Structure 1
Amino acid sequence: MASGPVNANTANVGDDAVAQATGESRETWFARLDEEGAQRDAWVHKAIATWLVAEHGVDPWWAQHVTVAYEQARGIRRPGQRQDGTYEASVTRTVELEKTVALRALAAVVERELGTAPLALNVTAKHPTARFPLEGGEFVLASASDRAGGRSAIGLTWGRLPGDERLAELKARMREWLAAVEA
């Protein structure tokens, strides 16, 4: 698939990493899935991932990766598209803050920019999140997770978009919000 406002699944994970983690290259998995009739018989996402895990012992995270890559390579799913047909855009950044402090700072930025408080703010989870509901069913999810050295990865996902037209604009907007989180 051509690169657009959202990268294809294969853009961020190399073929060597896939082969090392799953025992096969992406192209080998794609050929095996084609041989099994995954595209011809219109296997749904869950069927592909289950086949990789149950029949071939692929780790569930890697099974999801291979499944999405296969769907994108075969034109079943576009970059940024979710299984339900909606789209989402995500951005991340590493900051020099502990994850709870980082999430609270990010949630404050998002609240200021959206003009609405989070529906839910969970700072006690392993991966803390804040969820902001928007009109039309869309949402923004802020998240934080630990990184080495007391740092955190913070992220934003704008989800349930009906199409891919706004992906580039929203990614740029969310990158500005991430940049506003000070260490």
Structure 2
Amino acid sequence: MGTQGTGNQGVGGSADGVGDDAVVSATGRSRGDWFALLDAAGATGWKHQAIANWLVTEQGVDPWWAQGVTVGYEQARGIRLPGQRQDGTFEVSVTRTIPGEVEPALRALAEVVTAQTGVQPLALNLAAKYPTARFPLEGGEYLLASASPRSGGKTSIGLVRGRMPNGDDLAGAKATLRGWLDTVTVEPVG
């Protein structure tokens, strides 16, 4: 698949955030060992799902960890770039924990997104266990706002910008979303 642009500097790969010790503990092998095993099996010519399935069915890897190893392998072998999804589009995401309850936090985040984009949410799902608001953007892209409870009266809020056609400015897109999260505030209850 080759490389596309250099604008994704500052956007981490699959291995960022999950240490190799955790991979070894969960799967019994390091990333390097998995990658060597996949190379020996000819996996550079396989589709994403075939790699993940092989790890699960042939090697007994938990499905969640198999996905992580698969994405890491694809990135390490140049099959997939950081931020790239299986369908070839790109995605960035950011999160932040703020004081406040879930529903008001999501409403506040949705207001920020609407103010910044001029787009009303296509769907605002406040009744779900993890409430979300989805915003359609031009060209089939979307923004997904989410909120989930944390302890101590706090809420984790997040934004995902998905179906981006290329990875030319992933770091810039991520910085923009982070800036939007930084403006979200929720009035204290009581």
TM-score between the two structures when normalised by the length of structure 2? 0.89
- In 1, the alpha carbon distance for the partners of 2:98 and 2:72 equals 29
Of 176, 179, 183, the match for 1:176: 179
Letter in 2 for 1:61: W
* 1:21 equivalenced with 2:26 (yes/no): yes
Q: Percent identity?
A: 61
Structure 1 gaps, min length 5 = none
Q: How does 1:1-183 map to 2 (within 5 A)?
A: 4-39=9-44, 42-183=45-186
Runs of 4+ deviating beyond 3 Å: none
Q: List per-residue Cα deviations over 1:8-62 (Å, max 9, x = no partner).
A: 11111110111111121111111111111101xx111111111112222222221
Q: Deviations over 1:67-122 (max 9, x none)?
A: 10000000000001111111111111111222222211111110111111100111
* Corresponding letter in the other structure for 2:166: G
Instruction: Kindly indicate whether structure 1 or structure 2 has the higher relative contact order, using CA contacts under 8 Å at least 6 residues apart.
Output: 2
Counterpart code for 2:42 = G
Counterpart residue type for residue 62 of structure 2: D
Q: What SS class does the counterpart of residue 78 from structure 2 fall into?
A: coil
Residues 179, 134 of structure 1: alpha-carbon distance in 2 compared, 3 angstrom cutoff: same
Post-superposition offset of 1:153: 1.5
State the distance in 2 between where 1:125 and 1:54 align.
33
TM superposition score normalised by structure 1? 0.92
